[in-house]
Structure 1
Amino acid sequence: MIKSERNLADDNSNIAPVQHLIGDNTADNKSNNSGNNTTIINTVASSSVTENKSNNSRNNTFTNQSVLVTGGSGFLGRHIVSVLRSHAPEVKGICVLDPRPFEPLSGLSDENPECVTYFQGSITDPVMLRKAMEGVHSVYHIAGKISFGTFPDFNEMNRINIQGTEEVIKACLEKDVCRLIFCSTVDVAIGYHDIINGCEVTTAAPPIKFLFPGYPESKHRAECIVLGANQQKTKNCGTLHTLSLRANVMYGEGDPYYITSGLRNAAGSNGTLYRVGAMAAKFQPVYAGNTAWAFICADRALARKSSLGGQFYYIPDDTPIQSTFNFIKPFLEIRGFKLSTFSLPYGLVYYGLLGLEWIAKLLSPIYRITLPAESYSIRYINMDLYFSREKATRELGFQPIFFPKDAIARCLSYYRDVKL
C-alpha cells in the first residue's frame, strides 16, 4: 500500500514513494530553530576543472561568477552545488544558505577547486539573506516548505514559500543581484486530469483545483511573485532578471523522499511494496543531477539573453516514461524487496480513503487522526503525468548530461545502503 508523505519537518513521518516534490522543498523546515545562527564554513574541493568551456564562449563577460543556492544543504541543493563544481568553470564562488549544515554528497564529483561558503540560516531572516547575497551574481532559490498528509501545515508553507520568496526578492534588489532562478514544481499545473506531454502553452493557467492541498498553491503564488519581479531595478540601478523552472519528481543520491520512502514502506510490510491500480499510468521522474544542470543552463541563457526573463520552463530528462511501480522495481530488488504480485483495486482504495478523510476532518476539533495514506496520492500515481522540455532545450540550451542508464547506476549503491 502507498503511504503518504507527512510534514517533512517531522523526521519520523512516513513519506510516499510517489513523492512529487520538486525542488528541494525541505530546505527551510528548521528555520524557526536555526534562523539566527550565522556560522560560516568553507568547504574546499580538490582536483582541476576538466569540463569543455565552449558553452561559455558566447558571452565573454560571463566569467568569475558567484552563485547563492538557497536550500543548498538539501537533496536538490547539494546536487546543484556538485554540478556547479564539476560543470560550471565560470562559477568561482558558491554560497549556500540553509538552516542545516552543508555536507557534499558522497560519491559525486567535485572538480572545481573553489570553495563553498556556507551560511546557516533561513530565507525568512532578512539579515542572513543579505549576508549570503553579498557580491553574488545569481541566486538559485531552492529553499521551501512541503507539508502533505491528513492535515498539512498551510501557515508554515505560506510563511516560507510565499513570504520567504518575497524576502529573497527584496534582498536580490538591495544587493544588486543580476539573476534569480526559482525552483517551482510541476505540481502547480496538476489538477484532476491527466497531463500528456504538457508544455508551457497547454499549462499556462493553473488548474481549477490543485490535486494537492496547500503546497502547489503556495508554490504557484511564489512563482508568480518571482516572475513578476523580472526587470525590476536594483538598488544601484541594475536590473534583476528572473525565471522559473518547474521541476519533476526526482531520484538520485541523497534522495530522502521518492524511492527511499518506497523502500521504507516495503521494509515495513515484510519486504513487499503493494501496488495500487492497474499500473497503466505513465509517469516520468527525473535524475536530480539533470535537474541541477537545468539551473546552470537557465543561468547562462538568462545572462546571454535577458529577454528570456519572466517565463517558466519544464525540465524533464530522458528517464523512460513508465509506471511508478515499474520504475521503483530495481531499487526494491537491490534491497532484497519486491513488488506485490497483485494490485489493490484503485477505486476501493481511493474512495475508501476519501471516506476516512471526511471522518478525520469531522473529528478534528476533538481529536486529530493521521491516516496512513491520502486519496490525492493514490489518484496521483494512477494519472498520466509527463511534460515536454522542448522549450527549455530551444531557449535555455538544456539537454540532460546524465543518461538514464548511467543515472540509475550512479545511485543504486545509495539506495542499497540508505538508512530506512
Structure 2
Amino acid sequence: MSHENSKLTYVITGGCGFLGQHLLRVLLEKEENIKEIRLFDKNIHQSLRSHSTERVKVVGVQGDITDYESVHHAFQGADLVFHAASLVDVWYKVPEKAIYAVNVQGTENVINACVEIGIQYLIYTSSMEVVGPNVKGDTFIRGNEDTPYNIFHEMAYPKTKAAAEKMVLGANGTKVKGGNTLYTCSLRPTGIYGEQHQLMKDFYLNGVRTGGWLIKGVPRNTEHGRVYAGNVAWMHLLAARALQEHPDRLVWVLWFIAWMNDLIRWLLKPFYNYTPLLNGYTLAVACTSFTVCTDKAFRHFQYQPLYSWKECLARTQSWVNTFPLETSTKDT
C-alpha cells in the first residue's frame, strides 16, 4: 500500500462553526496523516475550497445532523469523526425539543452511522457544563475528573450535552461493520474563547449599542476557567492520534486545563465590569467559581498548549480590534 493510500479522511460535524474552523486550521497545519477533511454542517461557507492544499482536500458537505440519511451520506469513506455539532442556548430562545433533536438525536445519528459504515474512531466535543456550575451556586475550585460535585441541570443545553456524552462513552467497544471496534473519547472544554466566537462578539456589540451598560454584579474574586479555541482544537488532534495508537485504553473523559483569569476583563474593554446576565442560569454561572486543574491530558498524551497565553491574547485581541468602537447613539 502506498503512503498516500494509507492517509485518512476525517469528518468534522459542525465544521463551519466556531470550534470547527479552529480545528480545520490546526489539522491542516499540524496533522500529516490525512488526505481529506470533510466539514459537515447545515450551512457551508463558499470559501471552503480555498482551504484545500496540495496535500489535503477540504470538502464541505451540507446536511442536517438530525437527519440520519444526511449524516450517513457525509460519513461514507471516513476513518474518524470529530463530533462538534451542537446547539447552544442559555437564553431560553430555542425550544427544548429543538435542542434535544440536535444534541441528543444528532449524536445518536452520528454513533449509528459510525457503526453502520465501519468507522472506528469518534471524538465528542462535550462541555464543562455536563458537570456545572449548577444553579445552586456550588463552587468547583480547581477540581479534576474525580472531584465530587452536586450535578443538577435545569437548562436544556447541559442536560442534552450530558445525555449525548453518556451515549458516546456507552458506545465505546461497539462492533462496527467489518468486524472492527468503535473507540470513543469525550473532551470537556471549559469556556472557549477566540476569533470568530459569535457570543463574544454579540456581547461586545451589545455593550457598544448600550453605551457600556449591561447588568452588573459578578464578584471580582469569582474564578472562571477559559481556554483558547486553538488549544481546544489541538487537544482534539492529540486525542485523535492517541485514540488510534492506544485504542485499548479505558474510555476517556478529559478536561481542559484552563487559564485562571477572567478573560473578559482583558479583552472586552471598556465593558470589563459587566456581563450580560439575562436570566437566573447565566447569573448563577457568572457568579460561581468553576475552574479545572488536571494533568490527565498530559499523562495520556503529553498535552501542552499549542498557543501560549500571550499568543492566545494577541490573536483574540487582534480580532476584537476589528469591532466598531463607537456607540450607536451620541452623548447629549
In 1: Cα distance, 2:240 partner to 2:295 partner: 17
Whether the 8 Å contact between 1:72 and 1:78 is mirrored in structure 2 is yes
> Could you tell me which amino acid in structure 2 is paired with residue 287 of structure 1?
Y
Evaluate the alpha carbon distance shift between residue 372 and residue 278 of structure 1 in structure 2; reply closer, same or farther with a 3 A threshold. Answer: closer
Name the CA shift for 1:150/1:393 in 2 (closer, same or farther; >3 Å): same
Letter in 2 for 1:129: V
* Per-residue deviation, 1:201: 1.2
Q: What amino acid is aligned across from residue 108 of structure 2 in structure 1?
A: E
User: Is 1:415 matched up with 2:314?
Assistant: no
Give matches, 1:252-331, under 5 Å: 252-257=194-199, 259-272=200-213, 275-317=216-258, 319=259, 321-322=260-261, 324=262, 327-331=263-267
Shift in Å, 1:299: 0.7
Aligned partners of 1:386, 1:176: CA distance in 2, in Å?
38
Percent identity of paired positions between Structure 1 and Structure 2: 29
Q: Which amino acid aligns with 2:227?
A: V
1:147 aligns with 2:89: yes
State the alpha-carbon separation in 2 of the partners of residues 110 and 389 from structure 1. Answer: 36
User: What amino acid maps onto 1:161 in structure 2?
Assistant: N
- In 2, the alpha carbon distance for the partners of 1:221 and 1:123 equals 16
CA deviation map 1:69-126 (0-9, x unaligned): 0000000011001100001111221001000113669xxx987741211100011222
Cα deviations across residues 311-365 of structure 1 (Å, max 9, x unaligned)? 2110234x3x12x3xx2233234xxx3445xx89xxxxxxxxxxxxxxxxxxxxx
Please tell me whether the aligned partners of residues 82 and 104 of structure 1 are also in contact (alpha carbons under 8 angstroms). Answer: no
Could you tell me the TM-score, scaled by structure 2's length?
0.88
* Runs of at least 5 residues in structure 1 that lack an aligned partner in the other structure: 1-59, 345-370
Measured after TM superposition, the shift of residue 63 of structure 1 is: 5.3
Q: Is the counterpart of residue 77 in structure 1 residue 20 in structure 2?
A: yes
Secondary structure class of the residue paired with 1:308: coil
Gaps of 5+ in 2: 326-332
* Number of aligned residue pairs: 318
Shift of residue 131 of structure 1? 1.9
Name the residue aligned to 1:50: none
Corresponding residue for residue 65 of structure 1:
8
Of 266-275 and 170-179, more deviation after overlay is shown by: 266-275
Kindly report which structure 2 residues correspond to 1:119-134, keeping only aligned pairs within 5 A, or say none: 119-134=61-76
Q: CA deviation at 1:372?
A: 7.1
Which of these residues, 173, 195, 207, is aligned with residue 140 of structure 2?
Answer: 195
Partner of 2:107: 165
Q: What letter matches 1:121 in structure 2? A: G
Aligned 8 A contact 1:162 1:222 in 2: yes
Distance 1:252 1:133 in 2: 28
CA contact (8 A) 1:198 1:388 kept: yes
Which runs of structure 2 are paired with 1:3-402 in the superposition (5 Å)?
Answer: 64-102=7-45, 113-150=55-92, 152-190=94-132, 191=134, 192=136, 193-202=138-147, 207-210=150-153, 212-257=154-199, 259-272=200-213, 275-317=216-258, 319=259, 321-322=260-261, 324=262, 327-333=263-269, 337-340=270-273, 373-402=278-307
Letter in 1 for 2:299: R
Are 1:406 and 2:311 counterparts? yes
Tell me if the contact between 2:12 and 2:20 (Cα under 8 Å) persists in the aligned partners: yes
Q: CA deviation at 1:383?
A: 1.4
C-alpha change, 1:95 and 1:110, in structure 2 (3 Å) is closer
